[in-house]
Amino acid sequence: MSTDKSQIEKLIDGTLPWPELRDDVLPDPKDPERFETTIEILQERVDWDDRILVPLSDHLYVVAGDDGRTVKAECGHELCSADENWKLECDIRAREEQEETAELYPELMTPDPDWTFQIREYFCPECYSLLDVEAVPAGYPILQKFEPDIDTFYEEWLDKPVPDGQ
Protein backbone atom coordinates (compact mmCIF):
# COMPACT_ATOMS: atom_id res chain seq x y z
CA MET A 1 0.00 0.00 0.00
CA SER A 2 1.30 3.43 -0.93
CA THR A 3 1.50 6.07 1.77
CA ASP A 4 -0.70 9.05 0.98
CA LYS A 5 1.24 12.29 0.40
CA SER A 6 -0.96 14.17 2.88
CA GLN A 7 -0.10 11.55 5.52
CA ILE A 8 3.61 12.14 4.98
CA GLU A 9 3.08 15.91 5.21
CA LYS A 10 1.31 15.39 8.55
CA LEU A 11 4.10 13.04 9.66
CA ILE A 12 6.73 15.70 8.87
CA ASP A 13 4.68 18.38 10.65
CA GLY A 14 4.07 16.15 13.69
CA THR A 15 0.29 16.30 13.27
CA LEU A 16 -0.46 12.73 12.14
CA PRO A 17 -2.82 11.08 14.65
CA TRP A 18 -1.49 7.91 16.30
CA PRO A 19 -4.23 5.59 14.92
CA GLU A 20 -3.48 6.73 11.38
CA LEU A 21 0.26 6.32 11.93
CA ARG A 22 -0.18 2.88 13.47
CA ASP A 23 -2.72 1.57 10.95
CA ASP A 24 -1.68 3.20 7.67
CA VAL A 25 1.96 4.30 7.76
CA LEU A 26 3.85 1.82 9.94
CA PRO A 27 2.59 -1.59 8.73
CA ASP A 28 4.95 -3.88 6.85
CA PRO A 29 5.98 -3.88 4.12
CA LYS A 30 7.23 -0.32 4.15
CA ASP A 31 6.11 1.79 1.23
CA PRO A 32 9.11 1.84 -1.16
CA GLU A 33 8.21 5.34 -2.40
CA ARG A 34 7.88 6.95 1.05
CA PHE A 35 11.41 8.37 1.03
CA GLU A 36 11.02 9.94 -2.44
CA THR A 37 7.65 11.40 -1.43
CA THR A 38 9.21 12.82 1.75
CA ILE A 39 12.04 14.41 -0.24
CA GLU A 40 9.51 15.83 -2.72
CA ILE A 41 7.52 17.45 0.12
CA LEU A 42 10.65 18.85 1.79
CA GLN A 43 11.89 20.19 -1.56
CA GLU A 44 8.57 21.99 -2.14
CA ARG A 45 8.92 23.72 1.23
CA VAL A 46 12.31 25.35 0.64
CA ASP A 47 13.09 28.44 -1.45
CA TRP A 48 16.22 27.06 -3.12
CA ASP A 49 16.80 24.62 -5.99
CA ASP A 50 19.64 22.39 -4.74
CA ARG A 51 18.42 18.79 -4.62
CA ILE A 52 17.86 17.49 -1.07
CA LEU A 53 19.64 14.16 -0.75
CA VAL A 54 18.81 13.39 2.90
CA PRO A 55 17.35 15.34 5.80
CA LEU A 56 19.61 15.53 8.86
CA SER A 57 17.04 17.16 11.15
CA ASP A 58 13.88 19.23 10.89
CA HIS A 59 15.68 22.25 9.42
CA LEU A 60 18.91 20.76 8.07
CA TYR A 61 19.72 18.81 4.91
CA VAL A 62 22.52 17.32 2.84
CA VAL A 63 22.03 18.70 -0.65
CA ALA A 64 23.58 18.26 -4.07
CA GLY A 65 24.86 21.70 -5.04
CA ASP A 66 27.18 23.21 -7.59
CA ASP A 67 30.11 22.63 -5.22
CA GLY A 68 29.22 19.01 -4.44
CA ARG A 69 27.40 17.73 -1.38
CA THR A 70 26.86 20.38 1.24
CA VAL A 71 24.97 20.78 4.51
CA LYS A 72 22.31 23.43 4.11
CA ALA A 73 19.82 24.91 6.54
CA GLU A 74 16.18 25.30 5.60
CA CYS A 75 16.69 29.06 5.11
CA GLY A 76 19.29 28.35 2.40
CA HIS A 77 22.44 29.03 4.42
CA GLU A 78 25.21 26.62 3.46
CA LEU A 79 27.10 25.52 6.54
CA CYS A 80 29.87 23.33 5.09
CA SER A 81 30.75 20.39 2.91
CA ALA A 82 28.81 17.23 3.77
CA ASP A 83 32.00 15.53 4.95
CA GLU A 84 32.72 18.23 7.56
CA ASN A 85 31.22 18.77 11.01
CA TRP A 86 28.34 21.18 10.40
CA LYS A 87 27.98 21.89 14.15
CA LEU A 88 31.26 23.82 14.09
CA GLU A 89 29.67 26.33 11.68
CA CYS A 90 26.71 27.10 13.95
CA ASP A 91 26.10 29.68 16.60
CA ILE A 92 26.28 27.68 19.82
CA ARG A 93 24.67 28.44 23.15
CA ALA A 94 26.02 26.37 26.03
CA ARG A 95 23.85 26.39 29.14
CA GLU A 96 25.91 25.51 32.21
CA GLU A 97 24.53 27.44 35.15
CA GLN A 98 21.57 26.18 37.14
CA GLU A 99 19.63 29.36 36.29
CA GLU A 100 20.11 28.61 32.57
CA THR A 101 19.08 24.97 32.78
CA ALA A 102 16.09 25.93 34.95
CA GLU A 103 14.69 27.71 31.87
CA LEU A 104 14.35 24.27 30.26
CA TYR A 105 13.69 21.85 33.11
CA PRO A 106 10.76 21.88 35.55
CA GLU A 107 11.44 22.78 39.16
CA LEU A 108 13.38 20.09 41.05
CA MET A 109 14.39 18.39 37.78
CA THR A 110 17.41 20.51 36.90
CA PRO A 111 20.81 18.80 36.88
CA ASP A 112 22.75 18.68 40.11
CA PRO A 113 24.74 21.93 40.38
CA ASP A 114 27.88 19.95 41.27
CA TRP A 115 27.86 18.23 37.86
CA THR A 116 29.96 19.68 35.09
CA PHE A 117 27.18 19.51 32.55
CA GLN A 118 26.22 21.53 29.45
CA ILE A 119 23.18 21.78 27.28
CA ARG A 120 24.41 22.87 23.87
CA GLU A 121 22.01 24.44 21.42
CA TYR A 122 23.11 24.73 17.78
CA PHE A 123 21.56 27.56 15.76
CA CYS A 124 21.75 28.45 12.08
CA PRO A 125 23.94 31.58 11.90
CA GLU A 126 21.65 33.12 9.27
CA CYS A 127 18.05 32.51 10.39
CA TYR A 128 18.73 31.32 13.95
CA SER A 129 16.59 28.20 13.62
CA LEU A 130 17.42 25.62 16.24
CA LEU A 131 19.20 22.79 14.42
CA ASP A 132 20.16 20.47 17.28
CA VAL A 133 20.41 20.17 21.06
CA GLU A 134 22.66 17.93 23.09
CA ALA A 135 23.32 17.35 26.78
CA VAL A 136 26.98 16.54 27.40
CA PRO A 137 29.65 16.74 30.08
CA ALA A 138 31.44 20.11 30.03
CA GLY A 139 34.46 19.95 27.76
CA TYR A 140 33.06 17.11 25.65
CA PRO A 141 34.06 17.53 22.00
CA ILE A 142 31.56 18.80 19.45
CA LEU A 143 30.64 15.71 17.45
CA GLN A 144 28.03 14.98 14.83
CA LYS A 145 25.40 12.43 15.85
CA PHE A 146 25.97 10.55 12.63
CA GLU A 147 27.54 10.88 9.20
CA PRO A 148 25.15 9.48 6.61
CA ASP A 149 26.63 7.17 4.01
CA ILE A 150 24.60 8.65 1.19
CA ASP A 151 26.06 6.42 -1.53
CA THR A 152 25.26 3.21 0.34
CA PHE A 153 21.81 4.47 1.35
CA TYR A 154 20.78 5.23 -2.23
CA GLU A 155 22.54 2.36 -3.99
CA GLU A 156 21.91 -0.48 -1.52
CA TRP A 157 18.77 0.56 0.34
CA LEU A 158 16.86 2.49 -2.32
CA ASP A 159 18.40 0.54 -5.22
CA LYS A 160 18.97 3.69 -7.29
CA PRO A 161 21.88 6.00 -8.05
CA VAL A 162 22.48 9.08 -5.90
CA PRO A 163 20.81 11.95 -7.75
CA ASP A 164 23.81 14.26 -7.55
CA GLY A 165 25.99 13.05 -10.40
CA GLN A 166 28.99 12.29 -8.15
Each residue's pLDDT tens digit, 130-162: 999 998 988 899 998 888 999 999 999 999 999
User: What is the predicted pLDDT for the residue at 166?
Assistant: 56
User: Is the pTM for the entire model greater than 0.75?
Assistant: yes
Q: Report the percent of the chain where pLDDT is more than 70.
A: 95
What value does the mean pLDDT of the chain take? 88
Per-residue pLDDT of the chain (166 residues; tens, 9 = 90+): 567 788 889 888 889 899 888 887 777 667 778 899 999 999 999 999 999 999 999 999 999 988 899 999 999 999 999 999 999 999 999 987 777 777 777 777 777 777 778 889 999 999 999 999 998 988 899 998 888 999 999 999 999 999 886 5
User: What is the predicted pLDDT for the residue at 117?
Assistant: 83
Residues, the chain, total? 166
Domain boundaries along the sequence of the chain: 1-45
Segment holding 63, helix H or strand E: strand 60-65
Residue 159: name the closest of 32, 41, 50, 62 by CA.
Answer: 32
User: What is the predicted pLDDT for the residue at 165?
Assistant: 61
Q: How far apart are the first and last CA of the chain?
A: 33
